[in-house]
Structure 1
Amino acid sequence: HDDLAKPHGRGTEVRTLIWDGAGWSDPMNLTDDQQPDVAPVAAFDGRGHGLVVWERSKLTADAPPTLNRDFVRSLEIAASVWDGEHWSEPAMLTDNELMDHALQLATGADGAVMALWRTNDGEDILGNADHPLTLTYAIWDGENWSEPAAALTGLQSVINAALAMRSATQAALVYAQDMDGDLTTADDAELFYSLYDGAAWSEPQRLTDDAVSDGVPALAYDAAGALHLVWLRDGDLVWLHDSWNAADARVVRAQSTAAGFLGFTLNRAANGNLALVWQSMGPEGADLTYSIYDATADDWSADLALMSDASVEASHSPAFGGDGTLYLAYQKVATDFVTRTIEIEPGQPFTVTNVPQPGQADLVFLEHTVAQDLTLDDFSVSPANPAPGQPITLTAVLRNAGDLMAAAPQVTFYDGDAPIAAQTLPDLSAGYTTTVQATWTLPLDPTPHILRAVADPEGQVAESDETNNELTLQTTLPDLAVDLVTTVYETNWLTFTTRLVNQGALDITEPFSVTLRANDPVTGTIVGLDVISDTVAAGQAITATHLYPAAMVRMEWADSLWVVVDDGDRVAEADEGNNTSVVRPDILPDLSISDADIHTERPQLGGLYMGEPFTITIHNSGYFTATDVLVEVREGEEITGTLLYQETLPLVAPGATGTVTMSLTESAPLLVMLDPENSITELDESNNLATGEAVIVAAGPYRYYLPMLSVRGQIGR
């Protein structure tokens, strides 16, 4: 904890919180002064004591806390002990003029705890011939810390080291050394090991001797006293079990040097299980991932995610409880998405949205029960909706969603409660899946079937979740599907005609509805309803019709109109996802004209006088105003005929008409064209032509002869 009220560089203090199995205590200060305290590590000894050791600077009050040789040589090792109620006053394990740093703690099964750290003069923290590195250790015996002693001396170019302890008389350490002292040549990093027998450490022995990089070791003893070593070898994470022969190493995780595998730790449980935990890059960002070594099955799990979110999880510190539960404390940094404006050039700002930046950082505690858990990821039948009497294949995907190997897992398929087939599968490692199949012929009776796939049907596996072992599907069903929706635009109505098909395996004998909904297929207002009461046989197609007022289209009352078949889901179907179709009404004009709209008739004259005006009527039967409507009148019946007249109408409103007036000096066949250049988008472009005949007659006076009628209504008798 950095106390900002204290001078810069002198406010770092060690705080602790104690977990009692139900909750956390309030923070307690182990230090509260102006001496820099950093890099604490903690462990329990199994005898009720909590141990914290850390690096503490003994700088004098007048010395600035600057990262230089004087400061690093002021670093000593301090320790405090929790007795179940209180923390002891900090005790100094070292008091020298050397740099003591890079602490590690390892706990033995007998309650002994060993601390290991690096000691040198601060000139070269890795060590070299003139300034060698010493690995120093001290042992907690349940009451006191031993005097620090040198484990290994004269070390050079030590990149990293790992420590494991089984008891006060058995421990091991492994370190990685750059053989030429040049860190830019990574392929010459090799591993060395040393063993502790309760009295002294053995001379280092070389473990690897190859032409690839070997580094980042991690060590742990299991319950039987066997040693487990993992390290990165040429980018692969490899594992050596109870052996000091590097040729026995097995690849646990290939290609582990990418950004998706950062800062891994290795921890052991009392039952011999091991846990690797690291920071990985998941779909949402940086998360914590783990892998469990199942000691009973001698098997490593796949990569398993502890979380998946946009926050950044890092600085993890895992530990196993006595019951095998995995606990983690880690830092969780929220990711805030902000808007940034940058100036590309003077006077040219550029705004970027959703720029991620670190937000609030919290200390988080996670408890994970290491257990078995079988689940089914998928269950399907082929063909998907079989007919009675048809052979089928049932396929299920079994996943081991737990942390431990599933030995000989079982999966059984059922028709209702009647078993169809049972299979015992090969052992399945945690995090992996396997596919299981069975064939079966459906009975001939025309009834639906409820098929089930069940993992661990006899309940032989104690699982963390017993509710996720079964998947169910219903098959041999009818299946209504929208095949085609056609629309016809008329002056007063928009007519929807829906062709629907029962493409399922069974007849539909119960009534169902076909509705027309506005804007949404579920919550939209019902504006049309057609109830189908007749039986719809398998394979049969029928139609349903709905009328929608044209006035509503003109008002743009609905952006979309949905045809919904079996609205309310009264019919159990093989596929409920093919019951809807959407139509978005075109809010467009529709210019139209017919032969009857060319008004050249004067029956009593047999034609028109020369120069006598006549009218042509233009209709807009669409739903939107047409503007700048060009009307052309040509001679003949071809669009290439001589242009006799043209006029542009400013607008024709929906449902309204417009007229043009013209005259001729001689008779002619007429072709009237609306919007001849197709500059107006319309509902229907096929009704924009009409033909007529203009007959010009000579001017009067005319003499008309009328028939004579007798009183009796008979002609001239």
Structure 2
Amino acid sequence: MPSRLPAIGVDSTGRLHVVWTRYDDGVGKIYYRAWQGSWAAPQERISPLPAYAGFPALAVDAAGQPHVVWYGIREAAVPPPTRHGAIYEIFYTGFDGLVWAPPQLISPGLPDSVNPSLAGDRTGRLHATWYQFDGHWYQVRYAQRGAVWEEPETVLATRFDAFNPDLAIGPRGQVVLAWEHHDGSSSVIQATRRISGRWDDAVDLSDGPSQARHPSVSVAPSGIVYVVWDSDDGQISVREFTSQWEPPIRLTGDGGNTYPSVAASPRGADVVWTHTAQGRSSVRYLRLGPGGTSPAARFSRRAAALGVAAALLAMMGLALLASRRRRRRRG
């Protein structure tokens, strides 16, 4: 069956958890499988029949159990009067060690909600974000789950569209969130932090004339924040937050580079992305150093092209570092 849009996470025992969209009879469904030296069981469908489900995001809790969100369509849903007439909503399920919980709707309101991201903190609390139409604009929405999912909230509502949010959790439980802010014809990457239950004012991370898209966020154990994104000039950039946001740094310089994904660690941060040149595509990888006095000292600019096997190993390593899902697009 055709399959796409995978997400991975690794638990403390080294077990790899994978979810993806598989198109059964042309309709997307979410499937799950685990690897620990070998595939532990056959692939398992975790979204309900017969409705569409796609674009899963995955988090693994401290007990090693997977949690998954996706956007999907409820059976017999009626298209609402939204901009696109969409009927997508965000659903959640989690595994308790025995069974998967029945899928739960977590995006009340107009059913035009897409591209969720999911992360877990050290206490076991889950944090989810997505973007959702409010009747006028697409807004970033955020919800958290302890024992149950709390009512979602809009993050810094504006009179402009906000797309493709991503989030990560810092060592003290602070939430860092980045998204695309669309103001007319421009697209800027913005970010905020949630501290003591309040969102900081949004900060523009990208600059220049290029349209910036597809942010990916990760936080190192030290608390250093990394945000990477691509631009319509085909290049990848990064900004780092320690006590303040450092200036943006371009990581690439040739070909077309899209859909970056970052995972932070005590050693710095690792970035992978799609590189296209002369009609061919490959996965590229870059290690960002943990510190230094200049960009040349801090950022190793040697980007390595990865073959299929190497790419899988690199992705497994990134999952072990971050256990989080990256990449944002409809699909």
TM-score, length basis structure 2: 0.74
Partner residue of 1:50?
16
- Distance between the aligned counterparts of 2:78 and 2:253, measured in 1? 37
Q: Cα distance, 1:57 vs. partner?
A: 2.5
Is 2:264 aligned against 1:320? yes
Partner of 2:69: 116
- Is 2:250 the counterpart of 1:305? yes
The residue identity in structure 2 corresponding to 1:402 is R
Partner of 1:402: 298
Offset at residue 49 of structure 1 (A): 1.0
Alpha-carbon distance between aligned partners in 1 of 2:244 and 2:101, rounded to the nearest angstrom: 40
1:150 alignment partner, one of 101, 104, 110 = 104
* Structure 1 partner of 2:141: 192
Match of 1:522 in 2: none
Structure 1 residue aligned with 2:282: 362
Q: Say if 2:57 and 2:116, in contact at 8 Å, map to a contact too.
A: no
Q: Is the 8 A contact 1:124 1:131 kept in 2?
A: no
Partners of 2:20 and 2:66 in 1: CA distance:
15
Q: Does 1:83 align with 2:3?
A: no
Kindly tell me: are residues 161 and 86 of structure 1, through their superposed partners in 2, closer, same or farther at Cα, counting changes over 3 Å?
Answer: closer
Q: CA deviation at 1:152?
A: 1.4
User: Does 2:47 correspond to 1:94?
Assistant: yes
Amino acid at match of 2:269: L
Letter aligned with residue 270 of structure 1: P
What residue identity is the alignment partner of 1:363? Answer: V
Query: Quick check: 1:252–1:300 contact (8 Å CA) kept in 2?
Result: no
The one-letter code sitting in structure 1 at the alignment partner of 2:228 is V
Q: Is the alpha carbon distance of 1:362 and 1:330 closer, same or farther for their aligned partners in structure 2, counting shifts above 3 Å?
A: same
Letter in 1 for 2:70: W
1:138 alignment partner in structure 2 = 93
**Distance in structure 2 (CA, Å) of the matches to 1:362 and 1:147:** 37
Aligned residues: 291
What is the DSSP-based 3-state SS (H/G/I as helix, E as strand, rest coil) of the residue aligned with 1:242?
Answer: strand
Paired position in structure 2 for 1:4: none
Q: CA deviation at 1:207?
A: 3.5
Q: Distance in 2 between matches of 1:153 and 1:227?
A: 19
AA of the residue aligned to 1:261 = A
What is the distance in 2 between the residues matched to 1:262 and 1:254? 9
Deviation at 1:159, TM superposition (A): 4.9
Q: Aligned letter for 1:50?
A: L
1:249 maps to 201
Q: CA-to-partner distance for each residue in 1:344-389, whole Å, 9 max, x for gaps?
A: xxxxxxxxxxxxxx2x22233x2414322225xxxxxxxxxxxxxx
Whole-angstrom CA distance in 2 between matches of 1:332 and 1:400: 22
Are 1:162 and 2:117 an aligned pair?
A: yes
Based on CA coordinates, which of the two structures has the bigger radius of gyration?
A: 1
Q: Which amino acid aligns with 2:21?
A: E
1:104: Cα distance to partner?
A: 1.1
1:592-621 per-position Cα deviation (integer Å, ceiling 9, x unaligned)? xxxxxxxxxxxxxxxxxxxxxxxxxxxxxx
* Equivalent residue for 1:237, pick from 164, 189, 204: 189
Displacement of 1:126 in angstroms is 8.8
Following superposition, the deviation at residue 219 of structure 1 comes to 1.5
CA drift at 1:170: 0.9
SS in 1 for 2:235: strand
Give CA-to-partner distance per residue, 1:445-496, whole Å, 9 cap, x none: xxxxxxxxxxxxxxxxxxxxxxxxxxxxxxxxxxxxxxxxxxxxxxxxxxxx
1:463-474 aligned within 5 A: none
**Residue in structure 1 matched with residue 277 of structure 2 by the alignment:** 334
Q: Is the 8 A contact 1:159 1:178 kept in 2?
A: no
- CA separation of 1:49/1:253 partners in 2, compared to 1, >3 Å: closer, same or farther? same
Q: Measured at CA, do residues 327 and 113 of structure 1 come closer, stay the same or move farther in structure 2, by a change above 3 Å?
A: farther
- Given that 1:132 and 1:155 are in contact with CA atoms closer than 8 Å, whether structure 2 keeps it comes out as no
Query: Which of 231, 236, 253 is residue 288 of structure 1 equivalent to?
Result: 236
Pairwise CA distance, 1:127: 6.5
Retained in 1: the 8 A contact 2:176–2:217? no
Match of 2:292 in 1: 373
Alpha-carbon distance in structure 2 between the residues aligned to 1:125 and 1:314: 35
SS for the counterpart of 1:262 is: strand
CA distance in 1, matches of 2:50, 2:113: 21
CA positional deviation for 1:168:
6.7
Residue 109 of structure 1: CA displacement?
5.9
Change (3 A) 1:94 1:236: closer
**1:225 aligns to 2:173 (yes or no):** yes
In the superposition, the TM-score normalised over structure 1's length comes to: 0.37
Q: Displacement of 1:169 after TM fit?
A: 3.5
Deviation at 1:217, TM superposition (A): 2.4
Q: Is the 8 A contact 2:132 2:139 kept in 1?
A: yes
Distance 1:293 1:109 in 2: 26
- Equivalents in 2 of 1:254, 1:125: separation in Å? 38
Please tell me whether the aligned partners of residues 127 and 155 of structure 1 are also in contact (alpha carbons under 8 angstroms).
Answer: no
- Partner residue in 2 for 1:428: none
Relative distance call for 1:329 and 1:224 in structure 2 (3 A) is same
Task: Work out the percentage of aligned pairs sharing the same amino acid.
Answer: 17
Q: CA RMSD in A?
A: 3.3
Q: Which has the higher contact order (CA 8 A, sep 6+)?
A: 2
Cα distance in 1 for residues equivalent to 2:190 and 2:66 = 27
State the Cα distance separating 1:115 from its structure 2 match.
1.4
- Tell me the amino acid that sits aligned with residue 221 of structure 2: A
- Sort the Cα spacing of 1:328 and 1:192 in 2 relative to 1 into closer, same or farther, 3 A: closer
Runs of at least 5 residues in structure 1 that lack an aligned partner in the other structure = 1-34, 60-70, 182-187, 336-357, 376-398, 404-717
Q: Secondary structure at the match of 2:5?
A: strand
Aligned pairs (5 A) from 1:380-419: 401-402=297-298
Listed as ranges, the gaps of 5+ residues in structure 2 are 300-331
CA-to-aligned-CA distance 1:242-298 (integer Å, 9 cap, x gap): 24545x314142557x544222211233333322111236xxx6232222223xxx2
Residue identity matched to 2:101 = E
